[in-house]
Structure 1
Amino acid sequence: MGTIIDVIAFVVTLLALLAALGHAGYLTLLATAARKRPGGQPAVGFARKRAPVAGTALGLGLLAVLLSTGGVVPDVFAILLGGGVGVGSTHALRSTQQNFRGGRY
């Protein structure tokens, strides 16, 4: 039973970490591209404003991965934390993409 929970915790936390990395990477690419364009300062400001959210999610994702190396109880906490980080990062990435697809910046 413990092995199954270990595998589930590892997969959930790994996916959460990838989602957090995706959001942070998207913001980095967005800010880099906006700096090269004239009039891109609002996009750079937006990326800077969202960077703490992405950094926090990345840190919590790393914490979840570290928790998943423990026993059954830490694995359950890692699954819960990883699930929250994954859902939050995915939602933040989608909202960031919608802001720039809609032409707000």
Structure 2
Amino acid sequence: MDIINIIAVVIAIASVLAALGHLGYLAMLNSAANKRAGGGPIADYVRSRWPIAGATAGTAVVALLFTSGGTVMDILAVLLALGSGAVSTKALQSTQARFRSGG
């Protein structure tokens, strides 16, 4: 295992975790919205965000799978993982900012 592969694996795992965090937050938000009267607008918003969360999670998993190839695949994995992780993180932050309460 060379250093490029190790770096690619670490970045890909971080990307998967970011995507799973976004999916988990949406699931939690959806569950709370469905249990609460008047939660329809929140549930609608969550429904509109599922495709983004699913696409970033799928891309992150593909990037992780790419790390089992050679050096060229590792470089592609890093590029995919960085993009997916950035989009997941930004989407999670925007969702959290929209529904942040208290403070």
Give the TM-score of the pair, scaled to structure 1. Answer: 0.94
Report deviation, 1:101: 1.5
2:52 aligns to what?
53
Kindly provide the CA deviation profile for residues 39-59 of structure 1, in whole angstroms up to 9, marking residues without a partner as x: 001000000000000000010
Structure 1 partner of 2:94: 95
1:15 equivalent to 2:14? Answer: yes
1:11 partner amino acid: V
Whole-Å Cα distance in 2 between the matches of residues 59 and 101 of structure 1? Answer: 27
Question: How many angstroms apart in 2 are the aligned matches of 1:102 and 1:32?
Answer: 17
Amino acid at match of 2:49: R
Query: TM-score, normalization: structure 2?
Result: 0.95
Gaps of 5+ in 2: none
Cα offset, 1:27, TM superposition: 0.3
Cα displacement (A) at 1:24: 0.6
- The total of aligned residue pairs comes to 102
CA apart distance, 1:102 = 6.4
Aligned residues with identical type, % of pairs:
48
Q: For residues 102 and 53 of structure 1, what CA distance do their matches in structure 2 show?
A: 23
| Deviation string, structure 1 residues 69-101 (Cα, Å, up to 9, x no partner) | 110000000000000111110000000000112
Distance 1:49 1:63 in 2: 23
2 CA distance for matches of 1:75 and 1:91? 24
